[in-house]
Structure 1
Amino acid sequence: MVLAALNLRPVISAFGPLLPQIQEDLGVSAATVSLLTSIPLVCWGLLALVAPALVRRRSAETVIVLCLGLIGVGAALRAGPTLSWILGGTVLVGAGIAVVNVLLPSLLRRDFPERLGLMTGLYTTAVVSGATVASAASVPLRSALGGSWRLALGVWAGLAVVGAVAYLPAVFGRPARVEARDAQAPAGRNPATLALTLFMGTQSLVFFTWLTWLPRLLVESGLSGAQAGALLSLGNLVQLPFTLFVPVLAARLPTARPLVFGLCALMALGLAGLLWWPQTPLLWTLLLGAGSGSAFPLALYFIAHRARSAGEVPRLSATVQGVGYLIAATGPLLFGALHDLTGAWTLPLGLLLAWTGVVLVTGLWASER
């Protein structure tokens, strides 16, 4: 499970530190290059909805292995020579991640119902660890591979192979349609669906927007590419303790509302700092990482916790993550377009700061018991 989860972010987070060179080499606008981050989010949104149908024919374990293979092929194609190759590989990567995004959290509820908080923490820690390693390694890999950002992105195909091979033992001996025999999902729509979807979407929008554009913002502020990549890595690294312990706290507290207030305050302070006091980017990056590192595992915990049965989790997870990531996909694209339009970071950062208020409202709603 951990090795599979490690593959869910590297091919996305590795782009940030390389964006300036990618944009220059391809000769495209900031809005166009942001498609390389937005397309996976659109795939996560649209294709997450098909995950429950896939596990009616095959076990979730089999589908996960196949999707890890798809991620590996897509990562290799993103080392291709033209934008069309890169976009095609990005679609394959997004498709594979979309299905695994839905199935792994549902297996936590099925296999570890009494340790849901801890297992959600381990899963999200693995996801964020993958993002941390990728963002930190992007620039050094490019240097080690002769300055080629294509090869620096393509190496992540190897991690997908490792994840698929490691997950194979979970496939053997598993009935082909194990989920079909499990507890059936209750009839009717879960009343928490809308709140969970909006919280997933809003917090993901804030995270993927700053994940994509923070290195570019820092480079234009005078930092080198290596320094910007190191700061992005720290922003991901600081998430790790929060991804592990926030779900555990949520499972023990009578209400998760204090956690929602806390994570929104951290994100708002980080964005306000970048907007008004950009001279100290380290502090603001750490605050952003702590806030987003709390929001993501909390959103996944809410999905598993508020499902009415283990059989309902795949369907609820598909809806929440599917629509939620479609919302999130608009963030990097809009942020880049506003920067192209104004030539500055003030308006994009101000809009993202205002969006944090929406995260607060939706988080409080989702945390209702």
Structure 2
Amino acid sequence: MAGVLLVALNLRPVIAAFGPLLAQIQAELGVNAATVSLLMSVPLLCWGTFALLAPLFVRSRSAEGVILGCLAIIGVGALLRAGPSFAWILVGTVLVGSGIAVVNVLLPSLLRRDFPERLGLMTGLYTTAVVGGAAIASAASVPLRNAFQGSWRAALGAWALLAVLGAVAWWPAVRGRPGKSGLRTAPGVSIWHNPATLPVTAFMGAQSMVFFIWMTWLPRLLVDQGLSSTQAGLLLSVGNIVQLPFSLYVPILAARLPSVRPLVVALSACVAAGLLGLLFAPGAAPLVWALLLGIGSGSAFPLALYLIAHRARNAAEAPNLSAVAQGCGYLFAATGPVLFGAGHDLTRGWHAPLTLHLGLTALMLVTGLWASREFT
């Protein structure tokens, strides 16, 4: 359990730490908003591409060993993100995204294999650790930068130490395990024969796009409204911290409810309310808007992971369904931060991109209701 939780803690900090430092990064690199947002979209592209390949990596070696290797890749990538040029940072971003992508698929699949009777609880604990890592990183970004004499590169590179800690905790799961043991996938049967594959994939993509847009741009938007970078980073952290209880309990509740459709409606309403607040009264109650965004996303992400595991027809199909849903979903989500940033560049304001964000929230609602159907 310690290994699972500490590995999960590594899956968001390098990404979440980026938002509070966005204005400084953009200024120092001398690029526009759409270009700098690539540093958020590239990991999502990697998550999509390498998630689709993840089942191939466990055909000849243990899933536990592959996860350990991915932690090493994440650590090296975090160090490269502290490099002197945009090229170094981009290479580090690709490595971080690739390592996270494979763990995103394999770790939830291990939970389905090892804890089939406690899937809701284990999914909740896993997603709580993932969200907890994001909360810690978003809160610590600015203080870390200040501790490193204003260096955002050092503040991002410091997260390599968390990968080392995760590898140490995960090592007992690898030691002594036969090299070819691990997850058994379902070869020869197309995952698209499962009628739940498309709707679950669509919901995974829509909720991911909604989340990563505000994760990337909320601090910058709040700074433009007159808040300091420290205040904006703390509000982003609050938006992540409030997700923790929902990340834990939503999968448990979903496992007990006859239908998860009420959860889909409620979480979509929370996100929409937060976005409407930012659109029409951004300075009135920024704490409330951040809380609403966090509650909605803190419910959507674990619900999407639960649906992926629940809709797999057996444990052997779980890695394949997870790979397709996360792979295609994150490829779709990768366009979100760039489109939002491009909208801001074109209009020199936040109304048009926030309106786009509301439209994507409506898409999240529709796809969530679709994925919540019972399929025969």
TM category (shorter chain) comes to over 0.9
- The structure 1 residue matched to 2:226, chosen from 222, 225, 241, is 222
Q: In structure 1, what is the Cα distance between the partners aligned to 2:327 and 2:161?
A: 27
Q: Which amino acid aligns with 1:315?
A: N
Q: Which amino acid aligns with 1:212?
A: T
Match of 2:44 in 1: 41
Q: In structure 1, what is the Cα distance between the partners aligned to 2:294 and 2:203?
A: 17
Do structure 1's residue 66 and structure 2's residue 65 form an aligned pair?
no
Q: In structure 2, what is the Cα distance between the partners aligned to 1:187 and 1:213?
A: 41
Quote the offset at 1:183 in angstroms: 7.2
Do structure 1's residue 349 and structure 2's residue 354 form an aligned pair?
yes
Paired residues for 1:79-94 under 5 Å: 79-94=82-97
Quote the offset at 1:179 in angstroms: 3.5
- The structure 2 residue matched to 1:337, chosen from 335, 339, 342, is 342
**Quick one: structure 1 residues 329 and 233, their matched pair in 2 at CA, closer, same or farther if it must change by over 3 Å?**
same
SS in 2 for 1:28: coil
Quote the offset at 1:164 in angstroms: 1.0
Quote the offset at 1:184 in angstroms: 4.1
Q: In structure 1, what is the Cα distance between the partners aligned to 2:9 and 2:52?
A: 22
Quote the offset at 1:186 in angstroms: 8.0
- The structure 2 residue matched to 1:358, chosen from 355, 358, 363, is 363
Per-residue deviation, residues 153-173 of structure 1 (Å, max 9, x unmatched): 000000001101110110122
- Say whether the 8 Å CA contact 2:48–2:331 is kept in structure 1: yes
Q: Structure 2: 5+ residue runs without aligned partners?
A: none
Do structure 1's residue 244 and structure 2's residue 248 form an aligned pair?
yes
Per-residue deviation, residues 302-328 of structure 1 (Å, max 9, x unmatched): 011010110111111000000000111
- The structure 2 residue matched to 1:281, chosen from 268, 283, 286, is 286
Do structure 1's residue 321 and structure 2's residue 330 form an aligned pair?
no
Match of 1:187 in 2: 189
Paired residues for 1:91-106 under 5 Å: 91-106=94-109
Per-residue deviation, residues 59-81 of structure 1 (Å, max 9, x unmatched): 00000000000000000000000
Match of 1:262 in 2: 266
Q: In structure 1, what is the Cα distance between the partners aligned to 2:373 and 2:187?
A: 21
Q: Which amino acid aligns with 2:189?
A: A
Q: How many residues align?
A: 368
Q: In structure 2, what is the Cα distance between the partners aligned to 1:33 and 1:165?
A: 33
- Say whether the 8 Å CA contact 2:64–2:182 is kept in structure 1: no
Do structure 1's residue 174 and structure 2's residue 177 form an aligned pair?
yes
Q: In structure 2, what is the Cα distance between the partners aligned to 1:44 and 1:183?
A: 20
Q: In structure 1, what is the Cα distance between the partners aligned to 2:201 and 2:311?
A: 12
SS in 2 for 1:103: helix
Quote the offset at 1:355 in angstroms: 1.1
Per-residue deviation, residues 22-73 of structure 1 (Å, max 9, x unmatched): 0000000000100110000000001111110000011000000000000000
- The structure 1 residue matched to 2:33, chosen from 17, 30, 33, is 30
- Say whether the 8 Å CA contact 1:307–1:313 is kept in structure 2: yes
Match of 1:213 in 2: 217
Q: Which amino acid aligns with 2:51?
A: A
Q: In structure 2, what is the Cα distance between the partners aligned to 1:126 and 1:344?
A: 35
- The structure 2 residue matched to 1:295, chosen from 278, 294, 300, is 300
- The structure 1 residue matched to 2:315, chosen from 295, 299, 310, is 310
Q: In structure 2, what is the Cα distance between the partners aligned to 1:11 and 1:190?
A: 34
Q: In structure 1, what is the Cα distance between the partners aligned to 2:356 and 2:223?
A: 21
Match of 1:202 in 2: 206
